[in-house]
Structure 1
Amino acid sequence: MTPPLSDTERRTDRPESDERTEQPTEEPLRNATVCVVGLGYVGLPLAVGFAQADYRVIGFDVDDSKVETLQNGVDTTGDLSDSAVLDGDITYTTDAAAVRDADYVLVTVPTPVEDERPNLAFIESAAETVGKHLTRDTTVVLESTVYPGVTREEFAPAIEDASGLEAGEDFFVAYSPERATPGDGEHSLDSVVKVVGGQNDAVLENVAALYESVVDTGVHRAPSIEVAEACKVVENVQRDVNIALMNELSMALEKMDIDTHDVLEAAGTKWNFHDYRPGLVGGHCIPVDPYFFAHRAKESGADPELILTSRDVNESMPDHVAELTIKALNDGHKTLCESRVLVLGVSYKPNVGDIRSSKVANVIDRLHQYGIDVVGYDPHADDDAVEQTFGIDVQESLSFADFDGVILATPHAEFDDLDLGNVATALGDDPALIDVAGAFDADDATDHGFVYRRV
């Protein structure tokens, strides 16, 4: 295996003439330098993965604090070990000039949605930064989630404007959608198939070979950049629509006084029934990506009615959870404005500490409108951040004393072994238990005196 480049071997002697160069397809990959732009929950594992595969890696981010933390060998995502962030030939920096040393630049910046419209500001900024320091023959791969057309129509032209170079002649572009799943160690970079689209066949093969050197499960070569872009948003559109169906069924079945989980258990005995469950839909992907697809669909003259209706259904779920809580408190003869409710888990998904884009915040806001005092407990989230973001007090250690009800909002593994008998004893008479994830047995809960509701 060829060792990574030393500092004296860095590619700073690239041609500066106007001669057109061909995309290299046989370059010894292990000699390549990879620069990852954006060191969040996508970019950092990507940078570490390439470093562990014996590449020379540059990790660039504009966040001084984050870079300093990484330089000190501390993981900033919660998905890696501290030792991993300094494993291999990896350098963390806020100096954008480091881009000029890279053979491959992988861009993994956020792509949020504002007022249901895609915000490409981070991509535009990254393209400008990369372009200012880009050298000839570099391949730039966008990994951020976008709608079809962004790489060719927005990203590459922005790099051209900043660099004075021409895409496809002086530098090369490709798209490979990130498929990171925070908190899921089973599906990491090396174990999830990578989809790649290139601006031409040579670029496609070159970038595919790069990813094949770090991904054990292989690479899917998409026939175009646009197919690769579309596949990412379609993955999450499908999930969002299916969850919305379950949420709509759940709300309707609740009106019929029929337990949704009992229905799904029975329906699941048919071999072709797909197992989706109702619940809160938060995070950075599933609630966001449908708006990317819908934006491009409407620009193209299509009407993504089902997709947008599904979004509306899922956005209504925090109100539904709050309503279940209020009904349970009322059924337990509690006075709402005097009630105290403990929320277990406030992050957007189980076993991670990320509270950004968590729909639990919307549940809490709704309960506050009824004068209900809400306290949170989350063994993964930062307590100070929870207090500031959600506007609630938090427990450092779990206690059920002096509460009128409990909402299991995010089913972290730490809650798997809760003894409902002990919980009920600590809570007092007719306590409410709202089970968003359906983690508890309904009969067990009612046998212990809970006014039990589940989504």
Structure 2
Amino acid sequence: MFQQLIEKKAVLSVTGLGYVGLPIALEFARKMKVIGFDLNSERVELMRKHIDPSNELDASAFEGCDIEFTSNPADLAKASFHVVAVPTPINEHKLPDLKPLLGATTSVGRALKKGDYVVFESTVYPGCTEDDCVPILERESGFKLNKDFKVGYSPERINPGDKEHTLTKILKIVSGSDEEALREISKVYGAIIKAGIYEASSIKVAEAAKIIENTQRDVNIALMNELSLIFNKLNINTYEVLEAAGTKWNFLKFSPGLVGGHCIGVDPYYLTYKANELGIHSRIINGGRMINDDMASYIANQIVKRLISAGHAINGSRVLVMGATFKENVSDIRNSKVADMVYELKSFSVNVDVVDPHASSKELIKEYGFGLVDAPTGKYHAVVVAVNHNEFLKLSDEEFKNLCVENGLFVDIKGAFRKRDIGLEYLSL
């Protein structure tokens, strides 16, 4: 299979062209013939014009790529090596929502030919590939695993906004349904990954490795958030404590904050779901999730308390929230906990304006029911730097101060401004 792909006698497909799928498709397309498939025809049209709908890649990333973009699932039949990189979100009950993954698997299954390969990159619980996806592939194709087609799992490690740890520079985990599958899948990914390939002993091990990467971070951030609750009561700045503790060589440098996005705020729920199926109630993981999910509400309540203490009437007070994406310098608003903070503030009858140079107002309205203002207007009782976009970090002390009423509140969630004297009452985690 690998040799056929390199010689362009076979075609590789990537299903799902978002933050994960598009970079993978373009990287493969520099070495092989690729079909990039996405159900969203509007996104496909943008990519045909060398525009990344996720605003992560510039036009030059499309140059020199042998790729056909399509929204027609029938085109998948042209490919022999299929990569599935669709989102795996959670639903309103915080349970795994596998509809995008199972839908993509159905489309690929209908396109399968004898000898084809299917590799999943979407984050799932251990066992999902073999227990949930393979039966669909077999049903739709009429073929049998390892007899007629091969399967593998290679977890994505894309970090939106990170220009240093890009796709080819991150060690890639691969796994296969048998030894031949592992060997061929390893070669295919090895053609584009400069950092090297790690061959996992099984598909389940590869799935589990991915899920615990973000679960580990989630639990550690939850500890920092819980410490910030304690230190707030002690009138100690958490970031100053962490800076001091970080002078020890083996201290792990995590920070408190809002934990959203499509990875850290979602992946642990896939693991706890599987644990519950096995009769195991994960107290640490669930506890960490509860702490992190509650932080937006906690911050909003702290803001209201500070405003009351400063003598401001809450009903009708004005708060400017700077940043709406789930992390700095990206346009991704998926699972943004800033939205939870805005909802909580509005529940106190606070008037909230939100600005963000990276986010789409249209997408925010569709996803969360509120949009952006073009620019701050008038004076605010509180200014909240919720996301540390570079544009906000460059603002002067005077610019922040001019946004606020006298005796206003400056909220620096991630402590980026703690060493500056802005001349306003200061609040941080």
Q: Same fold (TM over 0.5)?
A: yes
Instruction: Report the equivalent of 2:32.
Output: 55
Residues 75 and 85, structure 1, Cα contact 8 Å, conserved in 2: no
1: CA distance between counterparts of 2:57 and 2:366? Answer: 26
Query: Residue 384 of structure 2 is aligned with which of 381, 387, 407?
Result: 407
**Cα drift, residue 426 of structure 1:** 4.0
Pick closer, same or farther for the CA change 1:51–1:371 going to 2, 3 Å: same
After superposition, residues 130-279 of structure 1 pair within 5 angstroms as 130-279=108-257
**Cα drift, residue 368 of structure 1:** 0.4
Residues 159 and 166, structure 2, Cα contact 8 Å, conserved in 1: yes
1: CA distance between counterparts of 2:307 and 2:63? Answer: 51
2: CA distance between counterparts of 1:163 and 1:346? Answer: 43
Residues 328 and 452, structure 1, Cα contact 8 Å, conserved in 2: no
Pick closer, same or farther for the CA change 1:443–1:379 going to 2, 3 Å: closer
Instruction: Report the equivalent of 1:422.
Output: 399
Query: Residue 265 of structure 2 is aligned with which of 279, 284, 287?
Result: 287
Which has the higher mean CA deviation after the structures are superposed, 163-172 or 380-389?
380-389
Query: Residue 91 of structure 1 is aligned with which of 40, 62, 68?
Result: 68
Q: Which of these two proteins has the greater Rg computed from alpha carbons?
A: 1
Measured against aligned partners, the alpha-carbon deviations of 1:63-82 in whole angstroms (never above 9, x if no partner) come to: 11111221222211111112
**Cα drift, residue 384 of structure 1:** 2.9
Measured against aligned partners, the alpha-carbon deviations of 1:178-224 in whole angstroms (never above 9, x if no partner) come to: 11111112112111111001011111011011001001001100000
Measured against aligned partners, the alpha-carbon deviations of 1:326-374 in whole angstroms (never above 9, x if no partner) come to: 1221232211112111111110000011112100000000000111100
Residues 319 and 350, structure 2, Cα contact 8 Å, conserved in 1: yes
Residues 146 and 233, structure 1, Cα contact 8 Å, conserved in 2: yes
Residues 348 and 360, structure 1, Cα contact 8 Å, conserved in 2: yes
Measured against aligned partners, the alpha-carbon deviations of 1:220-279 in whole angstroms (never above 9, x if no partner) come to: 000000000001100000000000000001011111211111111111111111000000
Pick closer, same or farther for the CA change 1:388–1:164 going to 2, 3 Å: closer
Residues 383 and 403, structure 2, Cα contact 8 Å, conserved in 1: no
Q: Which amino acid aligns with 1:59?
A: G
Query: Residue 11 of structure 2 is aligned with which of 33, 43, 55?
Result: 33
2: CA distance between counterparts of 1:344 and 1:426? Answer: 12
Unaligned runs of 5+ in 2: none
1: CA distance between counterparts of 2:367 and 2:109? Answer: 36
Pick closer, same or farther for the CA change 1:387–1:432 going to 2, 3 Å: farther
Measured against aligned partners, the alpha-carbon deviations of 1:400-455 in whole angstroms (never above 9, x if no partner) come to: 6321110000000111122123321342311111111111025613xx1x111001
2: CA distance between counterparts of 1:422 and 1:67? Answer: 41
TM-score, normalization by structure 1: 0.90
Pick closer, same or farther for the CA change 1:79–1:425 going to 2, 3 Å: closer
Instruction: Report the equivalent of 2:58.
Output: 81
Instruction: Report the equivalent of 1:363.
Output: 341
Q: Which amino acid aligns with 1:412?
A: H
TM-score, normalization by structure 2: 0.96
Residues 340 and 405, structure 1, Cα contact 8 Å, conserved in 2: yes
Q: Which amino acid aligns with 1:235?
A: E
**Cα drift, residue 389 of structure 1:** 4.1
2: CA distance between counterparts of 1:328 and 1:400? Answer: 22
Instruction: Report the equivalent of 1:439.
Output: 416
Residues 241 and 311, structure 1, Cα contact 8 Å, conserved in 2: yes
Instruction: Report the equivalent of 2:426.
Output: 452
2: CA distance between counterparts of 1:356 and 1:394? Answer: 16
Which has the higher mean CA deviation after the structures are superposed, 373-382 or 121-130?
121-130
**Cα drift, residue 290 of structure 1:** 0.6
Cα root mean square deviation, aligned:
1.6
Q: Which amino acid aligns with 2:411?
A: I
Note if 1:303 corresponds to 2:303. no
Which has the higher mean CA deviation after the structures are superposed, 324-333 or 265-274?
324-333
Q: Secondary structure at the match of 1:337?
A: coil
2: CA distance between counterparts of 1:419 and 1:51? Answer: 44
Note if 1:318 corresponds to 2:296. yes
Q: Which amino acid aligns with 2:281?
A: D
2: CA distance between counterparts of 1:160 and 1:380? Answer: 43
Note if 1:100 corresponds to 2:77. yes
Q: Secondary structure at the match of 1:244?
A: helix
2: CA distance between counterparts of 1:293 and 1:394? Answer: 35
Pick closer, same or farther for the CA change 1:28–1:110 going to 2, 3 Å: closer
Instruction: Report the equivalent of 1:16.
Output: none
Instruction: Report the equivalent of 1:112.
Output: 89
Q: Which amino acid aligns with 2:413?
A: V
Instruction: Report the equivalent of 2:44.
Output: 67
Pick closer, same or farther for the CA change 1:406–1:46 going to 2, 3 Å: same
Q: Report the count of equivalent residues.
A: 427
Instruction: Report the equivalent of 1:15.
Output: none
Residues 25 and 205, structure 1, Cα contact 8 Å, conserved in 2: no
2: CA distance between counterparts of 1:322 and 1:232? Answer: 33
Which has the higher mean CA deviation after the structures are superposed, 333-342 or 372-381?
333-342
Instruction: Report the equivalent of 1:42.
Output: 20
Provide the identity percentage. Answer: 40
Pick closer, same or farther for the CA change 1:292–1:392 going to 2, 3 Å: closer
Residues 400 and 427, structure 1, Cα contact 8 Å, conserved in 2: no
